[in-house]
Amino acid sequence: MHELSIAQNIIEIVQQYVPGAAMADVRSVRVRVGRLSGVVADSLEFSFSAIVAGTALGSARLNIEHVPAICRCEGCKGEFEATEFVFVCPGCGSVNTRLISGSDLQVVDIDLEEAPVQKP
| Bridging pattern class, strands 70-73 and 79-81 | antiparallel
- If one asks whether residue 33 binds Zn ion (CB under 5 A), the answer comes out as no
Stretch that binds Zn ion, among 20-28, 51-59, 65-73, 105-113 (CB under 5 A): 65-73
Among 92, 103, 105, 106, binds Zn ion (CB under 5 A): 92
- Minimum distance of Zn ion from residue 94's CB (angstroms): 5
- Which residue, 49 or 94, is less far from Zn ion as judged by CB? 94
Angle at which helices 41-52 and 2-17 pack, to 10 degrees?
60
DSSP letter for each residue of 36-82: TS---HHHHHHHHHHHHTTSTTTT-EEEEEEE--EEEETTT--EEE-
Interface residues with Zn ion (CB under 5 A) are 73, 75-76, 78, 89, 91-92, 94
